[in-house]
Amino acid sequence: MSLFSTTPVSYLGVDIGSSSIKVVELKKHQDKVVLVNYGYSEQLTNAYPNGAKLDIKRVAEAIEKITKKTGMSARDVVSSLPTFTVFSSIIHLSGRLTAKDLDSAIAWEAKKIIPLPLKDIVLDWQRIDEGGPGLLKNRLTDKDEIKQAEIKLAQTSEIANTVPVAEKTEVKAETKAEKKETKLAGSLHHKVLLIGAPKSLIKSYAYSFKSIKFNLVNLETEVFGLIRSLLGNDRSTVMIVQLGANSTNVFIVNKGVPMLSRSIDVGGLAITKAISKNLNISLEKAEQFKYDLTNQEGPLPKMITEVIAPVFNEVKYILEGFSNKEQLEVSKVILTGGGSMLGGLAEYFSDSLNKNVLIGDPWFRVAYPLELKPVLEQIGPRLAVAIGLAMREFDKS
């Protein structure tokens, strides 16, 4: 049974992780985003058994089971592509480029970065140079696989551009507004966030949801869900450390735009396995012991700090490198993901990095019954991406 009465205007945010699936249903009531329901799979045997290839049947069954069990009624879905399946880079372009020239230049640069044929990739890009965001609106769409799948890959509600890479698309004559837009594009320097995702993966997502009669209205990379749920309108320079089961993602966000992303092959499961091995107990017992151990007073146990050392070292390296290169100081570090719920972890990072480190609150823009606060605070970090995804369409209005 739903926590609130449902309305037709509600969306599901579906976060398909490598080890579990998280679903959050939100609706808009007056000027507030309201929690309708949430659910997640306790354990999903790798949803991506062959790298970036999605296990369509298993994922569809898990999503259908979650939504039926929790009584979710929304059929419109916003989902996310995991960081490890997506190519992402900041590129710098020079010259007085028109909007059309910029499309071609971005596709050319993408060939240098993405180790796959561009005909198999959907590219998304966003200008992030000063004065640039919002000026360019790409009028070209890939009319082949993506439209057949009835979805689009979009990174922000205001500035999303899909670069056609499979074939040249016919362009209509420019209107007066478009001519003005082309003129605005003629600056000398362009700083662009470039993101590419395999078309085959996007088609798999579309098929998974269509097979269980859900409407996939948007698909984006998970960092944008985190920005929406954890930062909102915060325009400062922030690092987000997402500690998942199998890996840890590190992002640096400036003015709401991801400037850097890294993935580390260490997650909460590595800690569980280390405890299991050291104490000779099952993984199930080690998982519970992990939280019991860290919720005690005092510093993090040595067996845990040794496992997360690669994560800490990479975070420290990224902070120093970003500061030197961009001449920007990260104001705070936000921990999220299931692994962030370890007691003492934020304090460990804060003391070691000499930074303000906190556990992110993905519910801060969402209304919910007060009696649910203790439960939602506990599971919030795990649902942060799904919450941000479900908010996407409301942020557009």
Query: For 66-81, what is each residue's pLDDT tens digit?
Result: 999 999 999 999 999 8
pLDDT attached to residue 99: 77
Section 53-67 average pLDDT: 87
pLDDT of residue 49: 54
Assigned token pair, 287? 């998982």
Neighbours of 227 (CB within 10 A): 20
Share of the chain above pLDDT 70, in %: 80
How far apart are alpha carbons 133 and 330 in whole angstroms? 22
CA dihedral 345, 349, 350, 352 (to 10 degrees): 130
Question: How far is it, in rounded angstroms, from Cα 260 to Cα 253?
Answer: 7
**Beta bridge partner(s), residue 241:** 250, 335
Give the C-alpha separation, 127 to 138, whole Å: 11
Q: In the 8-state DSSP scheme, what is residue 152?
A: -
Measured distance CA(121)–CA(374) in Å, rounded:
43
| Band (65; pLDDT cuts 50, 70, 90) | very high
**Six-digit token pair at 94?**
């020079």
Structure tokens at 79: 């989902």
Half-sphere exposure of 192 (CA within 13 A, CB side): 29
Taking alpha carbons only, the member of 131, 102, 130 closest to residue 194 is: 102
pLDDT tens column, 212-248: 999 999 999 999 999 999 999 999 999 999 999 889 9
The domain limits of the chain are: 10-83+202-228+364-396, 84-198, 233-359
Cα distance between residue 294 and residue 242, in whole Å: 18
pLDDT given at position 44: 52
pLDDT in tens, 377-387: 999 999 999 99
| Tens-place pLDDT, residues 127-185 | 885 443 333 233 223 444 445 544 444 443 333 333 333 333 233 334 444 444 444 44
pLDDT confidence band for 290 (50 / 70 / 90): confident
pLDDT at position 397, please? Answer: 60
Rg (CA), the chain: 21
Confidence at residue 10, expressed as pLDDT on a 0 to 100 scale: 94
- Residue-wise pLDDT for 94-116, tens only, equals 888 877 888 889 889 999 989 89
Please tell me the total number of residues recorded for the chain in this structure: 397
| Average pLDDT value for the chain | 81
Domain spanning 233-359, CATH class: alpha beta
- Residue 328 is encoded by which pair of tokens? 């920007």
Beta bridge partners, 108, equal: none
**CATH code 3.60.20.10 for 10-83+202-228+364-396:** no
Q: In the chain, pLDDT over 90 holds for what percent of residues? A: 47
pLDDT given at position 299: 81
Output the six-digit token pair for 28: 């808009």
Domain pair 10-83+202-228+364-396 / 233-359, same fold: yes
CA distance 64 to 307: 35
List the structure tokens of 119.
Answer: 């005909």
Burial class (CB in 10 A: 0-12, 13-18, 19+), 326: middle
Q: CA-CA distance, 53 to 307, in Å (whole number)?
A: 28
Its pTM stands at 0.83
Nearest in space to 389 (alpha carbons), one of 121, 205, 115: 205
